[in-house]
Amino acid sequence: MSSKRTSPTIVITGTPGVGKSTHAQLLAQEAPVPLKHINVGDLVKEKNLYERYDEDWQSYEVDEDKLLDELEPIASAGGVILDWHTCELFPERWVDLVVVLRCDHSKLWERLETRNYPLKKIQENNEAEIMEVVLEEARSSYVPEVVVELRSEGTEDLESNVSRVVEWIKAWQADHTS
């Protein structure tokens, strides 16, 4: 799948507020290879890769074909972190590792309240975290060896998760560049 890449494509996913961007930023700094952090939600806005904006839910309805076309050359080349709250859209051939971040739901609720999300959006995300929606999505979209579930509740988790992915990248490189 990834034989042509010299750097991996890493997906960091999870319910909004679990810590994807925080992890992606630190990983981009600490990785032993250059990794470009792509916040997919921001990319959708910047490049108009959406059909409409839903005021009620304060969210964009993504134009999936446009998004896939935009990401194809970048993700298939490797050396990227794709940071998004869903992952099933990304074809298996792009992806070397999927990190699913998890967080205690009451802590997640507090994080989402600070974003001034509408209450129904906080409730929906909180429920999705309890029901393990993103984890199930990752497990049904990729082979088990590619998916790792990590907790993201405090800075110790952040640091140990990033160290773990750094070690994974070193092993991946040793396998793919020899």
- Positive or negative: CA dihedral 59, 127, 9, 4: negative
Nearer to ligand DAT, 8 or 14 (CB): 14
Choose among 109, 42, 40: nearest CA to 68: 40
Residue 166 CB, shortest distance to ligand DAT, in Å, is: 16
19 binds ligand DAT (CB under 6 A): yes
Instruction: Kindly tell me the burial class for residue 26, based on how many C-beta atoms sit within 10 Å of its own C-beta (0-12, 13-18, 19 or more).
Output: buried
135 binds ligand DAT (CB under 6 A): no
From 12-20, 89-97, 122-130, 139-147, give the range in contact with ligand DAT by CB under 6 A: 12-20
3-state secondary structure 69-84: HHHHHHHHHCCEEEEC
When binding is defined by CB under 6 A, the residue of 111, 121, 139, 176 that contacts ligand DAT is: 111
150 binds ligand DAT (CB under 6 A): no
Site residues for ligand DAT, window 21-80 (CB under 6 A)? 21-22
Tokens of 58: 């304060």
CA distance 44 to 47: 6
From 52-60, 119-127, 139-147, 153-161, give the range in contact with ligand DAT by CB under 6 A: 153-161
Residues that bind ligand DAT (CB under 6 A): 14, 16-22, 111, 152-155, 157-158
